[in-house]
């Protein structure tokens, strides 16, 4: 078997302050976070540049900054600095020595064994592990999506700007409904049901009259790092106007192009919404341009953005 085939990964986890074999990283069934979802997490991608035989982690600092923000909201005390979290991650990736794209899952949680959902008087801990991860959504063939009957959650209920483990029940309901209905993904509406918010675990962009439009942060979205990357690249590299504004459901049906973006989703074209074909059903030309630039950037092929790529060495 190939030295680092899927079967053999992951080998390690950072757990209780040290890197150990992942088979030994176990939590007690009484763990508070397991009972109540009292945890925050991140999803970070590491790209394998096969030509250079190098691994690059994309925007690692931005992800750890967001993890600390999520943790602050959830009163989880992370005892590591951003630099420490970055170096633990790089050490883990170095030990795994992936020769394919991978994904990092840092998870800070209430590790106490007490009954009761509360955020104080709890033991807390952090683990990190990595997995192999190829495409999460189709990147070449536009996907068919529906607008979910499940709306997104409001900030004063379960803050969508934080990546809280328990909030992903909302995403699971949306995604499952879409899959059961024969669609590949769901688009969700804001908590008031009035405007487009995002996908189950990805942000959304619409192209209309050569302009790029995306829902604003006050429509209950996660403030995606890929969303921010796409905005920067569209402005700087394609000279596009990017507008953050509310989008109505029916605007989706008449959009010229639609695509999802996210760490997992990357840049994924949408071919239809609720049975209405978007454009001619093929990947739109601007979506393709953005996708091409995105993949150059994440593999550290554009010097201008190399500060976003951290080499594993």
Active site residue ranges: 163
C-alpha gyration radius of the chain? 20
Residues 155-184 that bind ligand PMP (CB under 6 A): 171
**Stretch near ligand PMP under the rule CB under 6 A, chosen from 25-33, 84-92, 198-206, 232-240:** 198-206
Beta carbons of 148 and 174 less than 8 angstroms apart: yes
* CB-based contacts of 298-304 (< 8 A; 24+ apart in sequence): 298/45, 298/47, 298/56, 298/58, 299/47, 299/49, 299/56, 300/47, 300/49, 300/52, 300/54, 300/56, 301/49, 304/236
Among the listed residues 34, 43, 65, 100, the single contact to ligand PMP using CB under 6 A: 43
Beta carbons of 188 and 164 less than 8 angstroms apart: no
Residues 259-288 that bind ligand PMP (CB under 6 A): 262-263
Among the listed residues 31, 55, 191, 203, the single contact to ligand PMP using CB under 6 A: 203
How is 30-82 classified by DSSP, letter by letter? T-HHHHH--EEE--EEEEEETTTTEEEEESHHHHHHHHHHHHHHTT----S-H
Q: Which of 232, 233, 207 is nearest to 142 (CA)?
A: 207
**Stretch near ligand PMP under the rule CB under 6 A, chosen from 91-99, 124-132, 225-233, 298-306:** 225-233
| Closest separation in Å from C-beta 59 to ligand PMP | 8
Residue 255 is a binding residue for ligand PMP (CB under 6 A): no
**Sign of the C-alpha dihedral computed for residues 119, 120, 122 and 125 taken in this order:** positive
| Closest separation in Å from C-beta 2 to ligand PMP | 29
Q: Kindly state the number of chain residues that form the binding site for ligand PMP, as judged by CB under 6 A.
A: 13
Residue 95 CA to residue 82 CA, distance in Å, equals 20
Among the listed residues 57, 104, 225, 293, the single contact to ligand PMP using CB under 6 A: 225
Among the listed residues 76, 222, 240, 270, the single contact to ligand PMP using CB under 6 A: 222
Nearer Cβ to ligand PMP, position 14 or 41?
41
**Contact characters 227-246, ligand PMP, x per CB under 6 A:** x-------------------
Q: Which residues bind ligand PMP (CB under 6 A)?
A: 43, 171, 198, 201-203, 222, 224-227, 262-263
């Amino acid at each position: 078997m190939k030295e680092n085939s899927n079967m053999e990964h992951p080998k390690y986890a950072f757990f209780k302050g040290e890197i150990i074999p992942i088979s030994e990283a176990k939590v007690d069934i009484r763990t508070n976070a397991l009972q109540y979802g009292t945890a925050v997490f991140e999803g970070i991608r590491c790209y394998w540049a096969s030509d250079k035989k190098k691994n690059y982690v994309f925007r690692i600092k931005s992800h750890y900054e967001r993890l600390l923000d999520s943790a602050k909201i959830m009163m989880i005390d992370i005892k590591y600095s951003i630099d420490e979290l970055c170096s633990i991650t790089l050490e883990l990736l170095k030990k795994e020595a992936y020769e394919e794209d991978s994904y990092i899952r840092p998870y800070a949680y209430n590790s106490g064994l007490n009954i009761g959902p509360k955020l104080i008087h709890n033991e807390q801990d952090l683990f990190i592990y990595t997995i192999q991860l190829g495409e999460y959504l189709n990147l070449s063939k536009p996907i068919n999506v529906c607008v979910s009957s499940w709306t997104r959650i409001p900030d004063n209920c379960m803050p969508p700007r934080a990546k809280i483990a328990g909030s992903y029940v909302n995403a699971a309901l949306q995604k499952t409904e879409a899959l059961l209905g024969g669609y590949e993904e769901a688009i969700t509406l804001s908590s008031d049901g009035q405007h487009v918010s995002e996908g189950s675990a990805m942000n959304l962009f619409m192209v209309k009259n050569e302009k790029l439009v995306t829902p604003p942060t006050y429509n209950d979205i996660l403030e995606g790092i890929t969303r921010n990357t796409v905005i920067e690249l569209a402005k700087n590299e394609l000279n596009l106007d990017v507008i953050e504004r509310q989008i109505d459901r029916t605007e989706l049906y008449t959009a010229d192009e639609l695509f999802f973006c996210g760490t997992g989703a990357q840049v994924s074209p949408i071919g239809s919404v609720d049975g209405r074909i978007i454009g001619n059903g093929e990947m739109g030309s601007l979506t393709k341009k953005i996708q091409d630039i995105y993949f150059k950037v994440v593999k550290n092929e554009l010097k201008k953005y190399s500060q976003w790529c951290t080499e594993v060495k």
